[in-house]
Amino acid sequence: MSAVRTPLRYWLQLAATLAVCAFLVVPVGLSILAGVTENFFIGVKSGLTLRWVVQVWDLYHETVWRSIGIALACLACTLALGVPAAYALARAQSRLTRWIEELLVLPVAVPGLATALALILAYGTWRDFRASWLFILVGHVLFTLPFMVRSVLAVMMAVDLKTLEEAAASLGASFRERFFSVVLPNVRSGILAGSLMVLTLSMGEFNLTWMLHTPLTKTLPVGLADSYASMRLEIGSAYTLIFLVMIVPLLVALQWAAARAQKRGA
Amino acid sequence: MAVAIHLERCGKTFPDGTRALEPLSLDVAAGETVVLLGPSGCGKTTMLRIIAGLESPDAGGRVLFDREDVTALPIERRGVGMVFQSYALFPNMTVAQNVDYGLRVRKMARPERDKRVAEMLELVDLASFGARRVDQLSGGQRQRVALARALAIRPRALLLDEPLTALDAKLREQLRVEIDRLLRSLDVTSVYVTHDQSEAMALGDRIVVMERGRIAQAGTPQEIYQRPATAFVAEFIGTMNRLTGEVVDGCLILPAGRVPLDGLAAREVMFRPEDVRLVAAGEHHLRATVISSFFLGDHTRLVVDVGGTSPLVVETTERRTWPRGETVHMAIAPGAILAVPGQAP
């Protein structure tokens, strides 16, 4: 409709943006393509196949299930620990709690390798624990808990939970009643956003897990590294494809939940 | 249903050592509306929260509802209705569910609850709003829902914490009238916290003016306005003029004239702007020059200089303009002059 000619600058900017996008997306696309190509060195003309995907599944399906299991267990732990912790922080606003909030980001700031080393130093001698997937779970909980707490805490602060609870109490609601009828429903968006974040981070966690795993407790990202190092390129790529299929829906849901939480808070 | 509230030596010291409330006592009669009035930080909200059970008084303080000692009773067992400045409606519930909340918690039977909710929404003129979400309401409507919710549980006392402060001037006026109607018709004991003196005057059977954790004065709005007990009360409620001069023959002598003291023996006196009349030269007590004038529709407010002390504020209904620098003659209504409390004669 506009009679004004679109300026040249607009087209230049668009071209630059598209070029950057292509730079980032092409490698992912190539990798996916490699996973379904008969022989990547010959190229797509060698034919497309799901053979590699099937082979990866045969070799590594345990890591997929383990990763899902650990992510869900991690979610359960962060919910059980993180929601009450956020609640306590939101209710007892003081200088001390603000310090604790700041300290909460520490596990994120410290390199995962260092955290893992500390865990091994402290608990490595407990042989059964060290050898089990629970050891990895502890690392994941340590790493993801701050994300849950901060996500829930942000919503709790935005809805002025303290006054809502005082209102509920004045109407006769006991602590239990207010927690389930007023607190939880009003911070649902924060819990959802936090949960998706925890799942995504746990599924993709490599740093910590690489240090904590044993040959019998490989997770998906560790398996990926393993396949890149020791398998043919097509298998590694097919493995990446499986990882993407699992993680992308989570990322999309995460964006959606975050947008929703923000709308709620405003 | 309505109870008398007694506070006995209730003080409040916060963990960091700040004294929010000096130990003080207060009695609110059953069915009475008492307004706690004062600037921010005077302890009025702390006092309300002690009555509500949201704060506990320092050791030695007691809160009684009629003759029952409720000091140790948490808020959820005190049966008080609370209305907050921020409305504090539950965003996850509809209007009707909000009003119903206290009844549901009390495990009342469903039909009875529905009836009570409808009744309450009717009472605050929101009968057709039951199914609305809270965020679809205006500020005034939200506060009316909050009132209905607090009243639905048939509270032993209604406690209101600056309920009109978040509203704009026009709505504030409307809702104030509505709250007044509710409090009068329901015969519920209420304690109302505000920093707005006109709200306090309009709503309170009694006003308790607070200053730095103490009660500066408690009395009817008329007493507080006409016989302020301290200089702080005099200046916090309305506008008060002050004059200082020499007392000679029962008159206060000033450079601008002489004011008869009606037997008062004070060299520092005060009076309200509306008690000053503009008169013809010769009938006057004081002569002054106009510094500025504000036309306010139904009256004009003049700020005048009488030399020496701070300017005086005068109100007149005369229909004319007052150019700056004009000389005016003023008389102060007999009986309107008060000695400044706490001053040696």
**Closest Cα of chain B to A148: distance in Å?**
21
Q: Residue A229, class by beta-carbon neighbours within 10 Å (0-12 exposed, 13-18 middle, 19+ buried)?
A: exposed
pLDDT value at A261 more than 70: no
Q: Report the percentage of chain B scoring pLDDT > 90.
A: 66
Q: Does B133 touch chain A (CB under 8 A)?
A: no
Question: Model confidence at B345, in pLDDT bands (50, 70, 90)?
Answer: very low
C-alpha distances in angstroms, B218 versus A47, B44, B64, B100, B112? Answer: 93, 13, 19, 36, 41
Give residue-wise pLDDT tens across range B149-177. Answer: 999 999 999 999 999 988 888 888 889 99
Minimal-distance CA residue of chain B relative to A171: B102
Q: What residues in A contact B86, CB-CB < 8 Å?
A: 160, 163
**How many residues are there in chain A?**
266
Q: List alpha helices for chain B, DSSP H.
A: 44-52, 95-105, 110-123, 139-152, 169-186, 197-203, 221-226, 231-236
CATH (domain of A92):
1.10.3720.10
What's residue B319's pLDDT? 86
Count CA within 13 A, CB hemisphere, residue B258: 10
Minimal-distance CA residue of chain B relative to A175: B76
Q: What residues in A contact B76, CB-CB < 8 Å?
A: 169-174
CB contact under 8 A, B82 and A167: yes
CB contact under 8 A, B88 and A160: yes
pTM of the model: 0.80
- Out of A12-21, B16-25, B45-54, B252-261, which region has the weakest mean confidence (pLDDT)? B252-261
Minimal-distance CA residue of chain A relative to B148: A171
Structural domain includes residue A46 = no
Q: Which two tokens stand for residue B200?
A: 């306090």
**Closest Cα of chain A to B221: distance in Å?**
29
Give residue-wise pLDDT tens across range A117-140. Answer: 999 999 988 888 988 999 999 999
Q: Which two tokens stand for residue A247?
A: 């993680």
Give residue-wise pLDDT tens across range A38-55. Answer: 888 888 888 888 888 898
Residues near B93 by Cβ (< 8 Å), separated by ≥ 6?
Answer: B101, B134
pLDDT value at A3 more than 90: no
Give residue-wise pLDDT tens across range A39-96. Answer: 888 888 888 888 888 988 888 889 999 999 999 999 999 999 999 999 999 888 778 8
What's the domain range around A216?
52-265
Q: What residues in B contact A167, CB-CB < 8 Å?
A: 82, 84, 88-90, 146, 149
The answer to whether residues A236 and A224 touch, using CB atoms and an 8 Å cutoff, is yes
C-alpha distances in angstroms, B36 versus B125, B177, B197, B207, B214? Answer: 27, 18, 10, 6, 11
Minimal-distance CA residue of chain A relative to B159: A170
ipTM value > 0.95 = no
Between A133-158 and A51-91, two packed helices, what is the crossing angle to 10 degrees? 50
Amino acid in the structure at residue B252: L
**Closest Cα of chain B to A78: distance in Å?**
24
Q: Does B11 touch chain A (CB under 8 A)?
A: no
How many domains, in total, are found in chain A? 1
Q: Which two tokens stand for residue B115?
A: 């009836």
Q: What residues in A contact B52, CB-CB < 8 Å?
A: 170
Q: Kindly report the CA angle at B231 between B229 and B236, in degrees rounded to 5?
A: 95
Mean pLDDT of chain A: 88
CB contact under 8 A, A171 and B102: yes
CB contact under 8 A, A163 and B88: yes
Structural domain includes residue A201 = yes
C-alpha distances in angstroms, A100 versus A14, A88, A146, B121? Answer: 44, 11, 11, 44
Q: Does B106 touch chain A (CB under 8 A)?
A: yes
Structural domain includes residue A7 = no
Structural domain includes residue A23 = no
Bridge-based pairing state of the strands B276-278 and B286-295: unpaired
Nearest CB to A163; choose among B79, B81, B84: B84
**Closest Cα of chain A to B108: distance in Å?**
12
Give residue-wise pLDDT tens across range B270-291. Answer: 999 999 999 988 888 899 999 9
Q: Which of A174, A236, A234 is nearest to A49 (CA)?
A: A234
Q: What residues in B contact A182, CB-CB < 8 Å?
A: 90, 92
Structural domain includes residue A28 = no
What's residue A143's pLDDT? 92
| B72-91 residues touching A, CB cutoff 8 A | 74-82, 84, 86, 88-91
CB contact under 8 A, A169 and B90: no
Q: What residues in A contact B146, CB-CB < 8 Å?
A: 167
Report d(CA B65, CA B60) in Å as an integer: 17
Residues pairing with B69 in the sheet: B64
In the sheet that holds B80-83, the strands lie side by side as B80-83, B157-161, B190-194, B33-37, B206-211, B214-219
Nearest CB to B88; choose among A164, A172, A177: A164
Count CA within 13 A, CB hemisphere, residue B295: 7
Nearest CB to B153; choose among A166, A171, A181: A171
- Out of A234-238, B61-65, B96-100, B220-224, which region has the weakest mean confidence (pLDDT)? A234-238
Minimal-distance CA residue of chain B relative to A181: B92
**Closest Cα of chain B to A243: distance in Å?**
37
Minimal-distance CA residue of chain A relative to B85: A163
Minimal-distance CA residue of chain A relative to B154: A171
pLDDT value at B344 more than 50: no
Q: What residues in A contact B82, CB-CB < 8 Å?
A: 166-167, 170
Structural domain includes residue A8 = no
What's residue A170's pLDDT? 95
Question: Model confidence at A216, in pLDDT bands (50, 70, 90)?
Answer: confident
Report d(CA B301, CA A2) in Å as an integer: 58
Q: Residue A112, class by beta-carbon neighbours within 10 Å (0-12 exposed, 13-18 middle, 19+ buried)?
A: buried
**Closest Cα of chain A to B93: distance in Å?**
9
Minimal-distance CA residue of chain A relative to B150: A171
Mutate to test the interface with A, among B49, B92, B158 (most CBs of A within 10 A): B92
Report d(CA B228, CA B207) in Å as an integer: 12
**Closest Cα of chain A to B212: distance in Å?**
24
Report d(CA A17, CA A26) in Å as an integer: 14
Structural domain includes residue A83 = yes
The answer to whether residues B194 and B172 touch, using CB atoms and an 8 Å cutoff, is no
The answer to whether residues A48 and A38 touch, using CB atoms and an 8 Å cutoff, is yes
